Amino acid sequence: MNAWGLRDIPGNIWEWCRDWYGPYNEKELIDPVGSSGGSGRVIRGGSWGSGPASERSAGPASNPPAEKSAWRGFRVVLSIL
């Protein structure tokens, strides 16, 4: 389980993230924010169609937001305050 109480996240499908793909600020080590703009959104976690090296949330990849694929999606998260 991670710091947000989530488990078994990577693997089934690449997950879209809010961040634009680009370099992270090296000073922000916890929940770094990506670039303020770009042509591709961050995707993480790998999918059933990717190899073992991609099955990590720490290894981001990039795809254009308008590109459709059966290998990418998003996870709905409810925050209870």
pTM of this prediction exceeds 0.85: no
Average pLDDT over every residue of 28-37:
76
Average pLDDT over every residue of 13-32:
79
Query: In the predicted model, what is the mean pLDDT of the chain?
Result: 77
Note the pLDDT tens digit of each residue in 40-61: 888 888 787 777 777 777 777 8
For the sheet with 41-44, list strands across it: 61-63, 41-44, 14-20, 72-73
Domain residue ranges of the chain, discontinuous segments joined by +: 1-66
pLDDT given at position 1: 66
Residue 9 has pLDDT above 70, yes or no: no
